[in-house]
Each structure stands twice: as structure tokens, then as C-alpha cells.
């Protein structure tokens, strides 16, 4: 049955509380996937450096996140809007999120907690301010004038559309040589420009950074990125922002030779399935849907851009359904997942909670900051993702509609009921060893004990349980009770 109910009306308050509850707080080639056994990335969007450091110690490390992605750290234009951080005026590590010393301390603290650091690196362009001005750290700049760094000859001047702006995404030259919303477009084919960009990235590597999200990668030829990557002082994880456009000449697959690529179709397709189609359709989600190869795909339910596109993806505003979509992402063996952590906004341009001088305030979760990465179902499914690394899908079940279940062969099991009514009295074949397991959707597994329901798997790998409407049960071998 194709339907869509009013989620706020049908989600039981108790289920919402369970799903949204915070977890208990306790130049070699770039890598083509996050290294190590802990691969889940937490995108702490616009968090300042002391807050990131504290979160690595208190939450990200203990809950098993492998990486934290931090917002652009370079000097940017002044103001509060979120996108001003994506308008560099110099490569000094000094921004509204903190000083160079605070950034260095954050990296060291996160490493001590077992969490690697990915920087959102803005290297396609500089600012979009025609009048110029003074940057956050005091550097003067003009649209094509960045003293000691770049001058007008270091930028593209495509001479199109009356202002050098991109208008036609079906024109490869225009997309990669004109300006994205007036942002001064760097001539990344220039040896000088490549040396300056590599110098910035190598400076970050010297501070211990482990990888980069390359912003606006679609607007740079893949060969230019490869040339810059070749100048890095050591290996680093790379993920490139290349938004898929049907029929466009520039495709995400062009960039997989450099590292991972964001699969923007993933979040949109997942939202459509949860909102208006059937979870049964997810049986071959990922490559079976024409998405990028799993080993090159970086996936997310939403990110800082897509959550501002009304209706396109699921976001924190969707509550329980958003939590379930994240649970599916973290349980399903496709791509490298990133969990979004947002601040509350109603105006799509609004920047993070800040003081009168636009300096980002310390994060206080659930008070201006959404902290989705702490929601119990999200944070605990990170442990599920870690425990099931390398295990394929087995024991798939669906009812032809919105009740699905599957195991990650011998390591974990998820059953998800997105029907409007409870599924009662069913038995589920997990393929897991017999024993008692913590249901990590509803409980925290700490010190060998579970704060929530315990699921008993029998000698043949089966358990019986009731699953409320719009809810789930998840178990895995790393949350097994003695």
C-alpha cells in the first residue's frame, strides 16, 4: 500500500522518547575509505574547537565514532551566516570557531580519545564579496585580491552570463571555470595555485589532521584535485563533494580515483522510501539503485546543505522517522556513513549560536544544538556498525510493505517496523550465537549490562519479540550479556 501518514500524529510518544533519547555520556595516495575498524563519521557542523574536543572525549570516543568532521577552520569573511565560513580570505587557522592553538589542542584531544579528524576544506574558491573588507583575523581582502596569497591572475574570469556566474550545469567548462554564486573561482590548473592550496592542506596535516572533505569538488576537474593530492606531505583520507545531476557532463564517478565521493542520491532516495514508498524496496539499496560503488561512496541521511533544502531529505525535524533512517544507514553495509549533528535553525542562512561578536558559543546539547549524534538510537547503532564490519546481509525478511529485518551474517540483526501498527508475536531468524543481547535501539550496553530490553536468541538463532509501530530492535555480538 502506497501511503503517507502524518508522522507527528501516529508516532507514539513513548516510541519517540525511546528513539530520540540521548545516549549515556561516558604524498602517498589518499585512502579510498576511512581507515581502521571504526569508520563512522560525526559531522559536528559549526561546533567550536573546545566543544569538539570535549565531545571527542565524552561521547565520540566512548560510543565508537571513528572520525569527527569539523567545519572550515581557515580565516573567513565576517558575519554570522553559516555560509560565511565557506568564504576564505586567508589560510590562517583562525576563525569564529577558535584559534590555531585551540584547533591544535582539539586534534590532540580527539586523537587521545581514539577519534580521527576530518577538515571541511574550502579550496575551490575564496570570497564572494565584491566590495572586499577585513576578515575574521584581520586580513584585508578584495574579491580577487588576497595580499600575499592570490591576485587577479590566480582566478578564473570566464566572461559569461554578465557576471562570471555559473548558469548552465550542462556545460562542463562553465561549471569548472565560472563562479559558484559569485565566489572568486581559483585557477586550480595553475601550478602556483596548486602549491598554495597544498600548502594550506599540508599545514593542517602538520597539526595532525587525518583527512579532508573537499568542498565544491565538482567545480574543480578531477585531474586538478589529483595534482593537489600528489603534493600532500602524507597520506590522508579524502572525500569529495560532487553532487549528482541526471544527464550532466560532470559525474561523481570521475572523482573516485582520488578517494571517496559523496553520494547525494542516498539521502534523497532514503527519504522518499520512508515518506511515501515501502521499506521492502531497500533490499538492494545502494549499488542496486545505481548509486556509486560501495567502496567509493560516502553516505548520509542529511548534511548541512541538504537539510536546508525543504522536503528533499529527512532531518532532525522528522523526529522518530529520522532516527530510524539513521539506524538503517548504520546497519546496512553500503558506503562510509556520516551522522549529521546540527544546530537548530528556522532561517536557512542562520549561523550557529553565537555571541554579540559572532564568535561561536560552546555547544550545549538540546539547547540551540540538536546533537543528533547523541540520540540513543543513533549513537548505539555506531557500535552496531563497528561490530558488523565486513559481514554481508543474510536472512532478509520483508512483509512486502514496511516491516523489514536482516542480519549482518553472524554479527548483528535489525528488525524495523515502519507500519502504523505493532507487529506482535513474530519470531526472527538472526543467525547469531545463542545468548542474551542488549536491544541497543532502546538501551545502552555498558559494563556488561543493558539499561533497556534484553533479547534472548535460542540455540537455533531465533528470537521472538513484539515491535511497536515506527520502531525497531537491534542486537549485535559486541553487546551480548554474559
Residues designated as active site:
215, 241
CA gap 185, 125 in Å, rounded: 4
What angle in degrees, to the nearest 10, is found between the helix axes of 222-229 and 191-206? 50
Q: Among residues 50, 53, 132, which one has the least CA distance to residue 97?
A: 50
CA gap 415, 441 in Å, rounded: 10
**275 CB-near residues (< 8 Å, 6+ apart):** 4, 314, 321
Q: What is the DSSP letter of 306?
A: G
Q: Is 281 exposed, middle or buried (0-12, 13-18, 19+ CB in 10 A)?
A: middle
CA gap 205, 46 in Å, rounded: 20
Q: What is the DSSP letter of 106?
A: H
Q: Is 362 exposed, middle or buried (0-12, 13-18, 19+ CB in 10 A)?
A: exposed
What angle in degrees, to the nearest 10, is found between the helix axes of 376-387 and 320-331? 10
C-alpha grid cell, residue 412: 548483528
CA gap 424, 432 in Å, rounded: 21
CA gap 457, 182 in Å, rounded: 59
CA gap 218, 149 in Å, rounded: 23
Unique residue bearing C-alpha cell 590562517: 92
Question: 11 with 307: CB under 8 angstroms?
Answer: no
C-alpha grid cell, residue 188: 586550480
Unique residue bearing C-alpha cell 543467525: 431
Question: 299 with 329: CB under 8 angstroms?
Answer: yes
C-alpha grid cell, residue 462: 531465533
- Residues 4-18, buried b or exposed e (16+ Cβ, 10 A)? eeebeeebeeebbeb
Give the phi and the psi of residue 169 in degrees, each rounded to 5: -80, 0
**165 CB-near residues (< 8 Å, 6+ apart):** 178, 179, 180, 181, 182
Helices (H), 318-451: 320-331, 376-387
Question: 113 with 99: CB under 8 angstroms?
Answer: no
Radius of gyration, alpha carbons of the chain: 23
Unique residue bearing C-alpha cell 588576497: 146
Amino acid at each position: 500500500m502506497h501511503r503517507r501518514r502524518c508522522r507527528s500524529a501516529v508516532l507514539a510518544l513513548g516510541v519517540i522518547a525511546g528513539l530520540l533519547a540521548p545516549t549515556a555520556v561516558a604524498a602517498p595516495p589518499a585512502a579510498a575509505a576511512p581507515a581502521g575498524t571504526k569508520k563512522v563519521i560525526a559531522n559536528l557542523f559549526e561546533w567550536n574547537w573546545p566543544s569538539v574536543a570535549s565531545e571527542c572525549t565524552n561521547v565520540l570516543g566512548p560510543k565508537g565514532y571513528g572520525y569527527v568532521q569539523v567545519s572550515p577552520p581557515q580565516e573567513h569573511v565576517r558575519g554570522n551566516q553559516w555560509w560565511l565560513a565557506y568564504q576564505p580570505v586567508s589560510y590562517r587557522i583562525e576563525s569564529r570557531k577558535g584559534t590555531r592553538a585551540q584547533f591544535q589542542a582539539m586534534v590532540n584531544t580527539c586523537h587521545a580519545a581514539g577519534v580521527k579528524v576530518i577538515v571541511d576544506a574550502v579550496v575551490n574558491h575564496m570570497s564572494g564579496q565584491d566590495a572586499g573588507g577585513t576578515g575574521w583575523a584581520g586580513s584585508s581582502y578584495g574579491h580577487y585580491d588576497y595580499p600575499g596569497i592570490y591576485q587577479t591572475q590566480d582566478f578564473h574570469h570566464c566572461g559569461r552570463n554578465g557576471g562570471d556566474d555559473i548558469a548552465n550545469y550542462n556545460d562542463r567548462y562553465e561549471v569548472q571555470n565560472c563562479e559558484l554564486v559569485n565566489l572568486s573561482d581559483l585557477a586550480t590548473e595553475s601550478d602556483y595555485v596548486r602549491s598554495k592550496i597544498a600548502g594550506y592542506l599540508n599545514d593542517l596535516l602538520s597539526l595532525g589532521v587525518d583527512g579532508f572533505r573537499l568542498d565544491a569538488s565538482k567545480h574543480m576537474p578531477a585531474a586538478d584535485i589529483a595534482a593537489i593530492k600528489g603534493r600532500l606531505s602524507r597520506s590522508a583520507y579524502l572525500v569529495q563533494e560532487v553532487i549528482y545531476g541526471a544527464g550532466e557532463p560532470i559525474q561523481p564517478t570521475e572523482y573516485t580515483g582520488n578517494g571517496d565521493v559523496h553520494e547525494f542520491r542516498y539521502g534523497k532516495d532514503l527519504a522518499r522510501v520512508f515518506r511515501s514508498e515501502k521499506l521492502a524496496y531497500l533490499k538492494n539499496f545502494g549499488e542496486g539503485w545505481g548509486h556509486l560503488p560501495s567502496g567509493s561512496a560516502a553516505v548520509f541521511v542529511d548534511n548541512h546543505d541538504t537539510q536546508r533544502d525543504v522536503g528533499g531529505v529527512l532531518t532532525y525535524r522528522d523526529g522518530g522517522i529520522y532516527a530510524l533512517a539513521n539506524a538503517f544507514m548504520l546497519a546496512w553495509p553500503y558506503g562510509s556513513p556520516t551522522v549529521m549533528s546540527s544546530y537548530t535553525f528556522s532561517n536557512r542562512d542562520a549561523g550557529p549560536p553565537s555571541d554579540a561578536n559572532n564568535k561561536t558559543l560552546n555547544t550545549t546539547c538540546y539547547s540551540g544544538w540538536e546533537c543528533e549524534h547523541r540520540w540513543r538510537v543513533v549513537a548505539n547503532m555506531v557500535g552496531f556498525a563497528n561490530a558488523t564490519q565486513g559481514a554481508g546481509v543474510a536472512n532478509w525478511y520483508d512483509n512486502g510493505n514496511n516491516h523489514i529485518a536482516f542480519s549482518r551474517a553472524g554479527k548483528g540483526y535489525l528488525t524495523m517496523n515502519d507500519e502504523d501498527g505493532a507487529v506482535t508475536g513474530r519470531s526472527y531468524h538472526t543467525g547469531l550465537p545463542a545468548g542474551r543481547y542488549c536491544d541497543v535501539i532502546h538501551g545502552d550496553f555498558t559494563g556488561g549490562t543493558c539499561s533497556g530490553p534484553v533479547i534472548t536468541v535460542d540455540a537455533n538463532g531465533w528470537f521472538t519479540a513484539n515491535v511497536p509501530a515506527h520502531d525497531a530492535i537491534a542486537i549485535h555480538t559486541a553487546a551480548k550479556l554474559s
